[in-house]
Structure 1
Amino acid sequence: MKILKRFYRNIMNTTVDRNNYFEEENKRLIILPLQIIASLVVLAGAFALMFEVTYFEQFSIKIYFGRLIATFIGFVILVISNFDLGRKNPTLLIHVLLLTIIASFASIIINIPQSIYINSHLLALVIFTAALFLNWDLKNQIVVAIYYNLLFASSILVTDKSIYFLPSMYASVIYVILISFLSIVASSINYKLRQKAIEKTFEARDFFEHSTEALFRCNISTSNIVTINQSFKLLYGINDNNNSFDLPFRNLFTNKKEYDELIDILKSNNQVKGFIAKFRSLTNQHFFGSLNARLLSDKKDKTLFMEGNIRDITKEKLADEKIQKYNEELKILNTSKDKFFSIVAHDLISPFSAVIGYSEILAEEYKDLDQEQVGQFAKDINSVSQKAHNLLNELLDWSRIQTGRMQYDPQSLNLKTIVEDLLILYTENAKKKRIELNNTIDKTHRVFADYKMINTTIRNLISNAIKFTYEGGQIVLSSEIEGNFLSVCVEDNGVGISKEDLEKLFKIDVHHTQIGTGKEKGSGLGLILCSEFVKKNGGAISVESENGKGAKFRFTVPIPSE
C-alpha cells in the first residue's frame, strides 16, 4: 500500500515537467541496477584476487593490481550510490563503473591475448546489460555502443585475426559496427515508444488534474482515499498540507447511511451512476453531489478500490426547489383565480340579480303597489346592495393582499374600543335572532397591528358567529396575553363545525360554505381573508369546534413594545 501511495503521489501530483521527467525517472531506475553491478564487481574482484592470480602466475602482479583497483572502485561506487550524491548522478557512476570494468578486462586481454574470446564476450555481456539499464537515454546508449566498438576495434588490432569467425579483420570491424548501429536504431525505436507511453501518462495526469469534476480513488476495505485531483480538493476544502491519503471517504458524507447505501449498490452492480447524496467539506460546508463510481478488482476478483467522480449539484438542487416552490405558488394563484371567478360568477351575481328583480317590479308595477309594499322592496334592495357591497370590499381586499398592493400600516390600537364599535354595527342583526353579545376584552389590552386588517378580521368573525348561532344564543369576545402576543377569542354556542369541515377552513383551494341558522348564505371568502390579514400582522389563527357545540375562533396579534 505504501508503494501504491508513493506511485500515485509521484504520477498524479508530481510537478516535474515533461522535459525533465525522463531524466528524473531514468535516474531513479538506474540506482538499483548500478548497485547490483557494483556489488557483482566487488564480489567478482574478490574471487579473482584469490584464484585468478594463481592461475596466471607469470602475470600475477599486473593482474593483481588491475583487479584490486577495479574492486576498490566498484566498492566506492557502491557506497556513494547510497547517498544523495550517488542518487543525483547515477549515470556518471555507471559510466565510471563500465570504464573500470573495461579497463580491468582490457588488462587481462593485453597480457593474455588467448583469453580475448571469453573475456570479450563477458565484457560485451556487461556492456549490453548496462545498455538495457540506459534504454531511456539515447545519448548514453550511443556512448555505450562506442565503448563496445572501441573494445572490439582494440581487440582486433592487438590480436591475431585468426581467432575471429569472419574471414578478415575488416569484415569483423564492419560486423561490429553494423551490430552497434542496429542496437542504436532499436534503442531509438524503444526510446520513442517509451516517450509516447510517457506522453500518454502525462495526458492522463493532466486530464485527471484539470478535470472540472472531482475525481477520486479510495480503498474499499478501509474507505481511505488513495488519490484525488485538484477539483476534489477545491470541492472539499482540502489544501496541500492535508494528508488526503489518511482521510476516510466515508467521513465526507453528511449521512453515513448514504455511504453504506452506496457501497451496497456497488457490491450488487459493480457500478453506480447519478447517486445523489449530501456531502460535507473539511470546512464543514454542506452541499449536494451526484456521484458516479465503479469497483476495481485484481486478477483473483478481489475488490480493491472504488474510483469515480463527484459533481456539485447544489445549485441545481436549489433551482429544483425554487421551481417546486414556484409551482406551488402558481397552483395557489390558479386556485385563487378559480375562487375569484367562482365568487364573481355566483355569489356576486346573485345579489345583483335580486336588485334587478326588485327594481323591475318597482319600475313596472309601482302604480299597483301600496306604500307598504314599496317600502319593503326598498328595504330588500338596500339589504342586498349592502351584502353585495361588503362582498366587493372583501374581494378587493383579498385581491390587494394577493398582489401585494395592500398597504400595511401597523400602530398601537386599543382592542376593546375596536370591538365596541363593531358590536354597535351588529346589534340590530343580533336582536333579530335574540343573540346576546358580550365584550369581555380588558380595556387595557392593546395590539400593534394594521387597523383596517384587524377591524375586518374581527368583523368577519362576529358576522360568522351571528350567522351560525341559534336564536337565544350567546357570543363572547375575550382576550388574554400570551408572551409578546395578545390572543383574541370569538366564541359562540351555535351549530359548531364537523371535524371534516374544520380541515377545509382557511384554505383557498377548498370551496367551503355553509347555510346559517337564519338561512344566511356566505361566499367562503371571509375566513380566508381573516387568515391572510392575521398572518400579515405576524400572528396565527385557529379554531376549536364540534358539531352542535359551538365554535371558538382564536387569533394572535403582537403587543406594542414599550
Structure 2
Amino acid sequence: MKSNLHIETILENSNTGYIFESANRKIVKVNSAFCQLFNIPSPELIIGRSCTEAVEISANLFSRSETFASDIELLISENKTVNCQELEMKDGRILERDFIPIKDFELSGYLWQYRDITESKKNEKERIISQTRYNQLVNQLNDVIWKMDFEDKIIHDLNNSFERIYGYPQSEFAKNSNLWIELVHPDGQHIAKRSHIELQETGNSNSEYRIIRPDGKIIWLYDRKSIVFDHNGTPIQMGGIASDITSRKVLEEQLLIKDFALDASPVAIGLADLKGIVFYANEAYVKLWGYKCKEEVLNKHVSEFAASKTQPEEVIRIISKGEIYIGEGEPIRQDGSKFNCIISAILVSSEAKPVCLMAIFVDITERKQNEIRLKELTHKLNEINATKDKFFSIIAHDLKSPFNSLLGFSDLLVNDFEELSDSSRFEYIKTINDSLVSVMKLLENLLEWARIQLGQFEISKQKLNLKTLINDSIEPYLVNAISKSINVELEVDDTFEFYADIYSIKVVVRNLFNNAVKYTKDGGKIVFSVSQNNNKIEICIKDNGIGMSEEKIAKLFRINENQSTPGTKGERGTGLGLILCMEFINRNNGQLLVESELGKGTMFKIILPKE
C-alpha cells in the first residue's frame, strides 16, 4: 500500500507523462499527461498491458514507428537507466524519454517518462542560429571584442583580433594584466587611466587614445568598456570593444586643416546638400551675409540668401548637368540689404555619385560701385568734351557770322554813305541792329551757360507774380514777334503767384518765347497759359509754328546731338538756349516737357513746385 501511494504521488504531481510497468511487464499506473502526449483516450485502455503493447496503440505517431517497439524491448533487456532520449513525431513534435529500472525491496519494475520538448528545441535551434550569426558578424568586424568573467579573471578574445590590433596575442594579456596600459602612448596614459576609473565608478567608459605596437606602429583606438552586474549589484562580467580609428583621426586632422584653410579664405564658401540645405559655411560667408555665427546660417535653404528665387533653381539646374556655373548675383544680407557678387558653383561628386553642392562668392560690390562711378565720370567727360566742342563751334561759327555781317554792312555805310539812298542806309542799319541783337542773345546764353559749368550759379527762390514775370521776360523781344505779325496771348490771372528763382525762370521764359517766335510763321500765334495741380504749377508756351519730328525732340536737350534748325525767316541759333532751359528748370526742382507735331506747332511745359 505504501509503495502504491508513493507511485501515485509521483505520477499525479508531475506534468511529465509517466507510465509504470511492473516487473512482470504489466502497466499498473499511467497519468493523464502520458495519454495526452500519445492521443490515448483513457488510461483504462492500457492498464494491464505491457508498455510495448501500450505504445503500439500510438506507434503511427512516431517518425520511426517500425522500430519503436524493438527499441523499448532493447532498453528493458539492458536494464539500465537511460535519460533524455529524443523521439521525433510525425506531427513535428519532439519528445524526450527517460527509462528508469526500479529495484526496491517493496517496489520493482520500470518507470517511463515522456516530455514534450518541441518548444525548448525550437528555442535552442534559434539560439544556435543567433549565436552562429553573432559569431559570423563578430568575426567579420575589424574591432577587438572581448569579455572577462570576474570569477576566473581571464580575458577572452571573442574574434581573434587582439594580435591584429595590439600586436600581441590574447595569451600575452593573460600573462601580464597591465599589458594593455603599457601599450598606451605616453600622451594618452592619463586618458586611459581616467577611463578605467570611470569604468569602476559608473560601469561604463568611452575614450580615445593612441597605442604603440611592438613593431613601433602607432594607431588610434576608440575604447568602449562596460560592467555587467547581477540583481544584487555584484559585478559578474566585463566586456568591451576597441576600434582602430587611425584612418578617421587622420581624416579628421586633414578636415581640420581644410576647415581652417576654408575659414581663412577671403572668399565666401558654402556647401549645401542635394536639396539645397546649407550644412557648411566658412567665416567669410557668415561675415559677407551679415550674420553673427555659423549656426545662424546652417540648415537654411539656399533660396533664403538670394535676391531672386529663380536664380538658385537656375544654378542647381546647370550644375546638375555636370557643368560649372559662373555668374553674377545680388544676394540678400540678414538686414535685407543687397550686395553684388560673382558666384561660382559646382556639383561635388564621389565615385560618380553626387554628394553636395559647393558655391564660392566673391564680393564685387565695391567694383560695381566703381564701375557706376566710372560710367558717371565717363558720361560727364563726354558732356565736357561735347560742351567744349559746342563752345568752340559757337565761337568759330555762330559768334563769328554776325560780326561778318556787322563788318560788311558797316563798311558799306562808311565807304558808300553819300551814294546810298535813305532807304538803303535804313536797311543796312536795321541789318546791323538785327545782328547786334542776335549777338547779344548769344552772349547772354554763353555767359549763363559758363556760370552753370563753373558752378557759380545759385538758386534763390522768392514769391513771384507769374504774369509780371512773363511780361518782363518777353518785353525786350516782342519786336521780333511784331515784325512777323505774330499774336502773343497771356492767358494768365493777374494775381497768380508761385515760388521760384526769378533770374533762372526769366532766362527760361525768354528762350522759350524766342524759340516760339523763331519757328512760327508770319501771322501765327503764341499763347502763355497756366494751370495748377496739387502743389505743382504748369506753365505752357504754345505756338502754331512748323513743329518738330519725334527724332528731333529726342535730341533737343543733348548738347552733343542738338543741331539748331533755321527759323521760318532763316533765323540762326546754336541750340544752346534749350539746354540752358533744362539746366535751370532742374535746379528749380522742376520738369521741362515738350509736345510737338510737324506742321501743327509745339508746346513747352514748365512744371514747378508752387511752394
**Would you call these one fold, judging by a TM-score over 0.5?**
yes
Q: Does the alignment pair 1:420 with 2:526?
A: no
* C-alpha distance 542-134 of structure 1, shift in aligned 2 (>3 A): farther
Q: Does the alignment pair 1:295 with 2:323?
A: no
Using the TM superposition, give the Cα deviation of residue 478 of structure 1 relative to its aligned residue in structure 2, in angstroms: 0.9
- Structure 2 letter corresponding to 1:68: E
- Structure 2 letter corresponding to 1:285: S
* C-alpha distance 206-500 of structure 1, shift in aligned 2 (>3 A): closer
SS at match of 1:393: helix
Equivalence for 2:218: 187
Q: Pick the aligned partner of 2:449 from 398, 408, 424.
A: 398
Measured in 2, the distance between the counterparts of 1:136 and 1:350 equals: 106
SS at match of 1:183: coil
Map 1:103-252; keep pairs closer than 5 Å: 122-124=170-172, 137=185, 183=214, 185-187=216-218, 200-220=254-274, 222-240=275-293, 242=295, 244-252=297-305
Measured in 2, the distance between the counterparts of 1:389 and 1:477 equals: 25
Using the TM superposition, give the Cα deviation of residue 441 of structure 1 relative to its aligned residue in structure 2, in angstroms: 0.9
- Structure 1 letter corresponding to 2:276: S
Bigger relative contact order (CA 8 A; separation at least 6): 1
* C-alpha distance 136-516 of structure 1, shift in aligned 2 (>3 A): farther
Q: Pick the aligned partner of 1:41 from 143, 147, 152.
A: 147
- Structure 2 letter corresponding to 1:457: V
Q: Does the alignment pair 1:68 with 2:68?
A: no
Q: Does the alignment pair 1:443 with 2:494?
A: yes
Map 1:518-529; keep pairs closer than 5 Å: 518-529=569-580
- Structure 1 letter corresponding to 2:400: I
Q: Is the 8 A contact 1:138 1:187 kept in 2?
A: no
Using the TM superposition, give the Cα deviation of residue 388 of structure 1 relative to its aligned residue in structure 2, in angstroms: 0.8
Q: Does the alignment pair 1:284 with 2:332?
A: no
Equivalence for 1:89: none
Equivalence for 1:11: none
Equivalence for 2:482: 431
Equivalence for 1:318: 369
Q: Is the 8 A contact 1:339 1:511 kept in 2?
A: no
Measured in 2, the distance between the counterparts of 1:494 and 1:285 equals: 52
* C-alpha distance 35-238 of structure 1, shift in aligned 2 (>3 A): farther
Q: Is the 8 A contact 2:516 2:543 kept in 1?
A: yes
Unaligned runs of 5+ in 2: 1-140, 157-167, 193-210, 221-243
Q: Is the 8 A contact 1:141 1:184 kept in 2?
A: no
Q: Is the 8 A contact 2:283 2:294 kept in 1?
A: no
Map 1:90-105; keep pairs closer than 5 Å: 101=155
Equivalence for 2:565: 514
Using the TM superposition, give the Cα deviation of residue 142 of structure 1 relative to its aligned residue in structure 2, in angstroms: 13
- The normalised TM-score by structure 2 is 0.62
Using the TM superposition, give the Cα deviation of residue 391 of structure 1 relative to its aligned residue in structure 2, in angstroms: 0.2
Q: Is the 8 A contact 2:183 2:212 kept in 1?
A: no
Q: Is the 8 A contact 1:543 1:552 kept in 2?
A: yes
> Could you tell which deviates more after superposition, 417-426 or 316-325?
417-426
Using the TM superposition, give the Cα deviation of residue 390 of structure 1 relative to its aligned residue in structure 2, in angstroms: 1.3
> Could you tell which deviates more after superposition, 484-493 or 188-197?
188-197
- Structure 2 letter corresponding to 1:186: K
Structure (1 or 2) with the greater strand fraction: 2
SS at match of 2:341: strand
* C-alpha distance 392-423 of structure 1, shift in aligned 2 (>3 A): closer
SS at match of 2:151: helix
Using the TM superposition, give the Cα deviation of residue 511 of structure 1 relative to its aligned residue in structure 2, in angstroms: 2.6
* C-alpha distance 354-140 of structure 1, shift in aligned 2 (>3 A): closer
Unaligned runs of 5+ in 1: 1-32, 46-66, 71-99, 103-119, 145-179
Q: Does the alignment pair 1:260 with 2:316?
A: no
Map 1:339-350; keep pairs closer than 5 Å: 339-350=390-401
Using the TM superposition, give the Cα deviation of residue 475 of structure 1 relative to its aligned residue in structure 2, in angstroms: 1.4
Measured in 2, the distance between the counterparts of 1:465 and 1:456 equals: 14
- Structure 2 letter corresponding to 1:254: A
SS at match of 2:589: coil
% identity of equivalent residues: 29
Q: Is the 8 A contact 2:537 2:609 kept in 1?
A: yes
Q: Is the 8 A contact 2:445 2:576 kept in 1?
A: yes
Measured in 1, the distance between the counterparts of 2:188 and 2:512 equals: 101
SS at match of 2:386: helix
* C-alpha distance 361-135 of structure 1, shift in aligned 2 (>3 A): farther
Using the TM superposition, give the Cα deviation of residue 188 of structure 1 relative to its aligned residue in structure 2, in angstroms: 8.6
CA RMSD in angstroms, aligned pairs only = 3.7
SS at match of 1:254: coil
Q: Does the alignment pair 1:539 with 2:590?
A: yes
Q: Does the alignment pair 1:491 with 2:538?
A: no
Measured in 1, the distance between the counterparts of 2:374 and 2:561 equals: 24
Equivalence for 1:155: none
Superposed CA offset, 1:264-290 (max 9, x none): 3323344234x2111112232211122
Superposed CA offset, 1:56-79 (max 9, x none): xxxxxxxxxxx5163xxxxxxxxx
SS at match of 1:481: strand
Equivalence for 1:26: none
- Structure 2 letter corresponding to 1:211: S
Superposed CA offset, 1:302-336 (max 9, x none): 21201232122111111111111211222222222
SS at match of 1:487: strand
* C-alpha distance 422-214 of structure 1, shift in aligned 2 (>3 A): closer
Superposed CA offset, 1:360-387 (max 9, x none): 2233334544555444433322221221
Using the TM superposition, give the Cα deviation of residue 233 of structure 1 relative to its aligned residue in structure 2, in angstroms: 1.4
Q: Pick the aligned partner of 1:475 from 526, 530, 535.
A: 526
> Could you tell which deviates more after superposition, 346-355 or 199-208?
199-208
Superposed CA offset, 1:417-475 (max 9, x none): 11223343233222222221111111121221111111111111111222222222221
Equivalence for 2:355: 304
Q: Is the 8 A contact 2:184 2:212 kept in 1?
A: no
* C-alpha distance 491-194 of structure 1, shift in aligned 2 (>3 A): closer
- Structure 2 letter corresponding to 1:379: K
* C-alpha distance 337-246 of structure 1, shift in aligned 2 (>3 A): same
SS at match of 2:321: helix
Q: Is the 8 A contact 2:344 2:359 kept in 1?
A: yes
Q: Pick the aligned partner of 1:351 from 396, 402, 418.
A: 402
* C-alpha distance 276-441 of structure 1, shift in aligned 2 (>3 A): same
> Could you tell which deviates more after superposition, 135-144 or 313-322?
135-144
Measured in 2, the distance between the counterparts of 1:505 and 1:139 equals: 86
Measured in 2, the distance between the counterparts of 1:541 and 1:181 equals: 90
Q: Is the 8 A contact 1:135 1:187 kept in 2?
A: no
Q: Is the 8 A contact 1:473 1:494 kept in 2?
A: yes
Measured in 2, the distance between the counterparts of 1:135 and 1:361 equals: 125
Measured in 2, the distance between the counterparts of 1:143 and 1:355 equals: 110
Q: Is the 8 A contact 1:137 1:191 kept in 2?
A: no
Measured in 2, the distance between the counterparts of 1:232 and 1:381 equals: 76
SS at match of 2:463: strand
| Larger-gyration structure (1/2) | 2
Q: Is the 8 A contact 1:539 1:556 kept in 2?
A: yes
Q: Is the 8 A contact 2:181 2:189 kept in 1?
A: no
- Structure 1 letter corresponding to 2:413: L
SS at match of 2:340: strand
* C-alpha distance 136-481 of structure 1, shift in aligned 2 (>3 A): farther
- Structure 2 letter corresponding to 1:123: S
Q: Is the 8 A contact 2:212 2:219 kept in 1?
A: no
Equivalence for 1:504: 555
Equivalence for 2:223: none
SS at match of 1:242: helix
Structure (1 or 2) with the greater helix fraction: 1
* C-alpha distance 420-191 of structure 1, shift in aligned 2 (>3 A): closer
SS at match of 1:437: strand
